[in-house]
Structure formats: structure tokens, C-alpha cells
């Protein structure tokens, strides 16, 4: 069974222009031998959960336009951790951030990589607050 555990105490905050790094430990899944789509999603009150950064084991990585060039998704195969490095943060980046995964690759090529309904496994969320 795949489990995704976000560490960091459930919340993180910084001033505008600052940086944060989110961590998501993945168990029950081998990054090196299994096809996957993994990513980070963000949700704010009253809005639907939206994809922020998606990594497809086929190779592609895609970012939401608003975070492009500021955020970076990466993974450590040995530690089985998915990261989201967030730089030049803005108040509008605030929200609950969730890591997510689905078995099988090709989500970006097929067009559903940013659809939260396509993901089966979720972290518990980290509340990110960027102060102006």
C-alpha cells in the first residue's frame, strides 16, 4: 500500500520573497522501478485543489504557470522523498499543499496530470502561509 507522509509539523510560513521546502516521504512504492505520476497540489479556502508541479516517470515535468521559474519539484530515490522547493514566495502562494501520486506514467502526455481526481494517494497536507 502506498503511503505519503508530509513532514514539517503541518505548517510552514515565511515572508514574501522567502523560500520554503516541502517534504513528502513515500512508502510502499519504488521510484526506481515503478512507473508513476507524482506531484504537488494546492488548495485555498473556497477554491478547488489545483496542480502546482507534476513529475511523470516518463520524463516530463510541468508547473502551473504562476509558479514556473520559482518552484522546483524533485525526488530522492534512495530516501524515497518527494520535494517541492519554493522560492520568491508571494502571499498568493499561501494555501494547503498536498503531495499526491498515482500508479502508472503518461499523465502529462495524456492531459490529466494536473487533475486531482486522477490521483489515488495523498499526503495529509502542509499549510503554507506567506506574509506580505
Of 42, 40, 132, give the one whose Cα is nearest residue 95: 42
Average pLDDT over residues 104-117: 93
| Cα–Cα distance, 93 to 91 (Å, whole number) | 5
Rounded-to-integer distance, Cα 48 and Cα 14, Å: 24
pLDDT digits (tens, 9 = 90+) for 19-74: 999 999 999 988 778 899 999 999 999 999 999 999 999 888 999 999 999 999 99
Distances (CA, A) of 91 to 57, 60, 118: 31, 28, 28
Distance, CA of 5 to CA of 125 (rounded, Å): 9
Residue 7 pLDDT: 86
Distance from C-alpha of 104 to C-alpha of 30, rounded to nearest angstrom: 12
Reported as a pLDDT band with limits 50, 70 and 90, residue 84 is very high
| Contact call for residues 85 and 19 (beta carbons, < 8 A) | yes
Q: What is the mean pLDDT of residues 67-91?
A: 95
In which band, very low, low, confident or very high, does the pLDDT at 16 lie, cut at 50, 70 and 90?
Answer: very high
Mean pLDDT value of segment 110-126: 95
Amino acid at each position: 500500500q502506498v503511503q505519503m507522509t508530509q513532514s514539517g509539523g503541518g505548517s510552514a510560513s515565511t515572508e514574501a520573497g522567502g523560500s520554503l521546502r516541502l517534504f513528502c516521504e513515500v512508502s510502499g512504492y519504488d521510484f526506481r522501478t515503478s512507473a508513476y505520476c507524482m506531484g504537488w497540489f494546492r488548495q485555498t479556502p473556497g477554491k478547488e485543489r489545483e496542480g502546482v508541479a507534476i513529475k511523470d516517470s516518463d520524463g516530463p515535468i510541468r508547473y502551473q504557470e504562476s509558479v514556473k521559474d520559482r518552484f522546483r519539484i524533485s525526488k530522492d530515490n534512495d530516501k524515497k522523498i518527494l520535494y517541492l522547493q519554493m522560492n520568491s514566495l508571494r502571499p498568493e502562494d499561501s494555501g494547503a499543499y498536498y503531495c499526491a501520486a498515482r500508479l502508472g506514467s503518461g499523465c502529462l502526455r495524456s492531459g490529466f496530470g494536473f487533475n486531482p481526481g486522477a490521483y489515488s494517494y495523498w499526503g495529509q497536507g502542509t499549510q503554507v502561509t506567506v506574509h506580505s
